[in-house]
A and B are shown apart, each in its own frame.
Chain A
Amino acid sequence: MKILNTIFSETTNGALVNVVYILAAVLFIFGLKMLGSPETAKKGNLISALGMLIAVVVTLLDQSIVDYKWIFVGLVLGSLVGAVAAMKVKMTAMPEMVAIFNGFGGIASLLVGSSEYLSSVPHNIGILVPIFLTVVIGGLTFTGSLIAYGKLSETITGNPIIYKGQQWINGILVIALLFLGIEMIALQGLFITVDWQILVAAVALSFLLGVLIVIPIGGADMPVVIALLNSYSGLAACAAGFVILNNVLIVAGALVGASGLILTNIMCKAMNRSLTNVLFSGFGSVISVNGSSDEQGEIRPINVEDAYLILEAASSVLVVPGYGMAVAQAQHAVRELGELLEENGSEVQYAIHPVAGRMPGHMNVLLAEANVSYDKLIEPDDINPTIETTDVCIVIGANDVVNPAARDDPQSSIYGMPIINVDKAKTTFVLKRSMAPGFAGIQNPLFFKANARMLFGDAKASITSLVAEFKA
C-alpha cells in the first residue's frame, strides 16, 4: 500500500485519481443504461458494481489517508452485514429492505458531512452550505426511511398518523432549520458558540422532520415514499460531493436523485395524484364516501369446481396480481396454474399495474422469482385496448388497481387513476378473503358487475385447489 501511495502521489499529483473517478462515473452511467432491458440488466448491475469497486480502491490509495485500520474494520463489518441482509431477505420483503438501505445511505452522508464540519478544514461558505444540506437531507432520509421501514414491515401502524396543526408544526420545524442554517453558514456561531452544538441541533431537527413528514402517509402510498427517499439519499450523496469537492459523488448522487424523482413521478401518475396530495393529504385515513350506493347489488360467488370448468374452456387468461398475492405467498401456485393452463392450450399473461404491491415493480420481481417468463409480464396500456377479448381475468389480491369507480365515478376518491379494465373481460374471477374494502378503504363496484365471480378464501389455497382440479 505504501509503494502504491508513493507512485500515485509522485507521478500524478491527484490528477490520475480524478480520471479514475470519471471512469467510475462512466461505469455507473453504462450500468444504469443496461438496466433498460431484462437481457442486459444483470450485466449492467455488475458494471455499476465494478465502477463502485474502482472508486473505492482508488480512494484507498489517496496519499492523504493516515489511518487504515478503522477503514478496514468499517469495510469488513459493513460488507458482512450487507451481504447477509441481501442474501437472507425474502423477495416479498424487498420494499422494506430498500427502505432501510436508503436510510443507511442517508445516515452515511450525514456522518460524512458532520465529520467534515468537525474537522480542521477551513470553514468557508462554499463548504458550510453543502455540509448543512448533507446533514439535513441525510438526516431526514435516515429517519424517514426508518419510519417507512416500520410501516412496510408493519412494526408500526400503516395508517396515516394525523393530528391537528400537523402542517403548522412541520412548517415551524422547517423555519427553525432555516434559522439554524443561517446561524451555521452566515453567522458562523453568533448565538451558538460551540461547533458541535449547532451540529447536534441540526441533526436533531432533521431527524425529527424525517419522522414527521412520513408518519402522515399511509401504507398504500409507501411506493411513492420509498422512491422519494431513494432520490433524497442520492441528493445527500451529491451534497457530500460538494463538501469534499469530489466529482464522482456529484455525478452518482445526481443520477440516483434523478432516478428517484422519475419513479416518484411515475407512481403519482399511476395513482392520478399529485406529489403534494400524497405527502400531505393523509390519504386512506378516513373511509371515503364512494359515490352512489345504488351501483352495489348482488355478488356472485363461485366455487373452485365451477371456476375450473370455465378456466378449462378459456383460450386466453389474464392474471392480475396485487399485494394480496405477496401476502398469501401465492406466486408459486399462480405460476403452476399458469403452466397448466398453457398445457391446456390457453394463452396466459400477467398484467401488472405500476402501483401494484408496495414498491414499483414489486409484482414483477415476485413472479420472476416464481419462474414466470418475463415476456409474459405486461403493462396495463398493452392489455386494456384488447381486454374485451380476454376470456378469463383472475384478480389475485388486487383491488384498487381494478376498481372501475376510478374510471366511471367522478365522486370516487380514486377517480382518474388508470386501472386495468378487468370489468370489461368476458369473465373475471376475484380471489378475496371477504368483502372487506381494499387498502385505500374504498368500495369496489367490480364485485357487483355481471361478469364478476367471487372466489372467496385464502388466495394461495384457492389457486392450489384449482391446480389440483387441473391435475385430477
Chain B
Amino acid sequence: MDAVFVLLLFVLVLSIFLGVELISKVPSMLHTPLMSGANAISGITIVGAILTSRAENIESELSFALGMVAVFFATVNVVGGYLVTNRMLVMFKKK
C-alpha cells in the first residue's frame, strides 16, 4: 500500500472518532436539523463531481456526462440541505 493511502486511512479513522465526539453532544431537540445539516455536508462529493471535468475523464464522453450529472445531484444536496437546515434553525427561539 502506498503512503498516501495509509495517511488518508489514518485521516478517516481520526475523523470518525471526532465525529462521534461531536455528534454525541448534540441534544435530541436538534436532531432533525443535525441530520439535514450532516446531509448537506455529505454533498461534499460535489468536489469529486467537479473534478470529473479533467482531461482523463473528458476523453470518455460517458465518463464526463456521468460526472456532470453528479454535479447536479450533489448541488441539489448541498444547496437544498443547507437552506432547509437554516430554515429550521431560525425557528428555534427562546422567549
* Residue positions of A touching B, CB distance < 8 A: 21, 28-29, 31-33, 35-39, 41-42, 44-46, 48-49, 52, 55-56, 59-60, 62, 64-68, 70-71, 73-75, 77-79, 81-83, 85-87, 89, 91, 94, 97-98, 101-102, 104-105, 107-109, 111-112, 114-121, 126, 196, 226-227, 230, 233-234, 236-238, 240-263, 266, 352, 354, 359-362, 364-365, 368-369, 371, 373-375, 377, 379
Contacts and interface: CB of A to CB of B under 8 A. Distances in A.
Most chain B CB atoms below 10 A, which of A87, A97, A255, A373? A255
B85 to A, nearest CB: 5
20 contacts: A29-B18, A35-B37, A36-B22, A41-B92, A42-B89, A45-B89, A48-B41, A49-B82, A62-B50, A66-B53, A74-B70, A104-B43, A108-B73, A233-B42, A246-B47, A248-B47, A258-B23, A259-B34, A262-B19, A362-B32
A104 to B, nearest CB: 5
Contacts of B79: 78-79, 82-83, 86
B36 A101 contact: yes
A389 B88 CA distance: 33
Contact of A196 (B28, B62, B86): B62
A293 B52 CA distance: 63
A470 B9 CA distance: 62
A258 B18 CA distance: 9
Contacts of A120: 56, 59-60
Q: Is chain B's interface secondary structure helix, strand, loop, or mixed overall?
A: helix
Interface of B: 1-2, 4-5, 8, 11-12, 15-20, 22-60, 62-64, 66-95
A375 B93 CA distance: 9
Contacts of B94: 38-39, 373-375
Given A102-B39, A256-B38, A41 B30 contact: yes
Q: Is chain A's interface secondary structure helix, strand, loop, or mixed overall?
A: helix
A374 B92 contact: yes
Contact of B75 (A28, A79, A102, A257): A79
B93 A371 contact: yes
Contacts of A118: 57, 60, 62-63, 66
Contacts of B47: 21, 55-56, 59, 246, 248-249
A263 B67 CA distance: 31
A368 B52 contact: no
